[in-house]
Amino acid sequence: MSPTDSYTRFVNRPFGKQVAKTIGLPRPVPLRRHTPGDRLASGPILVIGDTEAGDTIAEQLWAESYDVRRDPGLKQKFSALIVALDDTAHPRDLSERVLQVSTALRGLEPNGRVITVFREPQDPSVATDANIVAVRHGIEGFTRSLAKEMRFGATTNGIILSQEVTMAAPAAQAALRFLLSGRSAYVAGQFITISSTAGSLPTDWDRPLADKVIVVTGAARGIGEAISETLARDGATVIGVDMPAADEALTTVMNRIGGIAVQLDITNENAATELIRLAGQRFGRLDGIVHNAGITRDKLLANMDAARWDSLIAVNITAPLRINEQLLAELGQGVVAENFRITSLASTSGIAGNRGQTNYAAAKAGIIGMTQAFADQLAQTGGSINAVAPGFIETAMTDAMPTATREVARRMNSLQQGGRPVDVAEAIALFHADAAAGINGTTLRVCGQSMVGK
C-alpha cells in the first residue's frame, strides 16, 4: 500500500505529465494534507457576496491576519474562494456572484478551495416560496457540478446554515476551517449542515480534543489506526478496542499514541458496560465513541448463507446499536459525559449499493439511519452523532482488490485517486470537537466525489 499510488507518481514526473497530457489521461496530483501548525490558506482568500455570512467570514479571517479580498480583481492568484449566497431569493440572483467565481477560478491555486455558503433548502419557514426553495436547491446543484470541474487537487464543497444559524455559530466556524484546510483533502462535492448554535470554540484550534477520552473500535489497523492517531494528535486520550487476535498490533498503536489497548469483541452483549467501567476506573469520564470496527462478507445474494449475513449484521450494525443504547442510558450519570459524541463508519456502498454487498450495504445504510435516529436525544444535552461514508480508501482491504478493478475504482472520482485513512480520520475528529456540536445527525462522504451515488 503506497500513500501516493504509482500512477499518480508517474503523471507528476515530467515525462509522465507530458504523456498524460498528450493522450488525455487523468492527471491526479498529491493532495495537501494537514500538519499541526498549518495555516488555513497560504495565499489570498476571496470572499464573494456582501451578505451577513460573507461579512462574518471576512471579519473572522481578517482577525487572524489572512489576506482577505472582496473583489476578484484582474489576474489575481487565490488559495480559496468563499461564495456567500445566504441572501439569494431567486435563481436569477445567482448570476452576479457566480460570474465573479468564474473570473477568480482562473487564478485558483493547486489544492485550492471553493466553498459555497447558503441556507437550508428544506427550511419549513420558506417551504411555500418556490423561488427561494428553487434557488437553494440550485446552489446545491451548482456546488456539485463545480466540484467536478476542479483540477489539480482543488475542491468545492458547501456549508448549509439552518434557519436561525449564522456563520458566527461555533459549528459553522469549525466547518469552514475544516473545508479550507488540508483536513478536508479528500472531501469534494459535499455539504456540511449546521443545524444549531450549540458548541464552544477551542482555546487552540490545533488541539480541539484536549482532555477528551474517546473509544475507537477496530483500532488495531487501517482506518481505525488512523482515527486513533488523529484523535491523539488533536489532544484526545484514546481507548483502542479490537479483537483478542489483534492484540499485538493494537498494543503497538496504543503505545505509540499514549492510549489504552482493550481486547474486546464489540458483539459481546456487555461491551458497553465494560467500556464504561474501564473508562470510569482509568479516567473518571468518557466523552465519545467511534464505531469503526467492521467486516466484509461479500457474496451475491443468490450465494449468500446465514453465517455470512448474520455475522456481518452482528458486527457492523447490531453492535453499534446496542452499545449506543447502553451508553445513552448512562448519559450524564457520572462517567458518560452529558455532551457525549458518537461517530460511525458508514460507506458509499450504503448510499449507492454495491454488487456482492447486500449484507454490507444493509448494515452501512443502517448506520446512516441510526445516526439520524439518535440525533435529537443527544442534542438535548449538547451531544451529537454523525457518520462518515468513505469511498475508495487506500487500505489493506482495497490493496487486495484485483489490479484492474482497483485501478478503475481509484480513478472514479473527481480527485482521480484513492483517499488515505487519515482523510476519514480528519472528518471523524471534526465531529468530536466541542465546536462541532451544531453538526448533528449527518453523514459526510469522504470519497473525492465518487461517481458512485444515488
Residues within the interface to ligand NAD (CB under 6 A): 217-218, 220-224, 241-243, 246, 265-267, 292-295, 315, 345, 347, 390, 392-393, 395-398
State how far the Cα of 445 lies from the Cα of 172, in Å rounded to an integer: 18
Smallest gap from residue 419 Cβ to ligand NAD (A): 8
Our answer to whether residue 7 is catalytic in this structure is no
Smallest gap from residue 223 Cβ to ligand NAD (A): 4
β-sheet bridge partners, residue 194: 161
**Active-site choice (7, 66, 186, 360):** 360
Helices 94-105 and 130-149: crossing angle in degrees, nearest 10, is 10
Which among 302, 299, 296, 275 is positioned nearest to 287, based on CA atoms?
275
The smaller minimum CB distance to ligand NAD, of residues 174 and 227, is found at 227
State how far the Cα of 403 lies from the Cα of 298, in Å rounded to an integer: 18
Smallest gap from residue 398 Cβ to ligand NAD (A): 5
Residue 270 neighbours by CB distance under 10 Å:
11
Backbone Cα Rg of the chain: 22
Smallest gap from residue 305 Cβ to ligand NAD (A): 19
Smallest gap from residue 266 Cβ to ligand NAD (A): 4
Contact 383, 340 (CB under 8 A): yes
The smaller minimum CB distance to ligand NAD, of residues 375 and 393, is found at 393
Smallest gap from residue 399 Cβ to ligand NAD (A): 9
The smaller minimum CB distance to ligand NAD, of residues 53 and 346, is found at 346
User: Which residues lie closer than 8 Å to 68 by C-beta, 6 or more apart?
Assistant: 44, 45, 46, 47, 58, 61, 62
User: Which residues lie closer than 8 Å to 248 by C-beta, 6 or more apart?
Assistant: none
The smaller minimum CB distance to ligand NAD, of residues 168 and 397, is found at 397
The smaller minimum CB distance to ligand NAD, of residues 216 and 439, is found at 216
The smaller minimum CB distance to ligand NAD, of residues 177 and 297, is found at 297
The smaller minimum CB distance to ligand NAD, of residues 94 and 314, is found at 314
Backbone angles phi, psi at 134, to 5 degrees: -65, -45
Smallest gap from residue 397 Cβ to ligand NAD (A): 4
Query: Which residues belong to the active site?
Result: 360
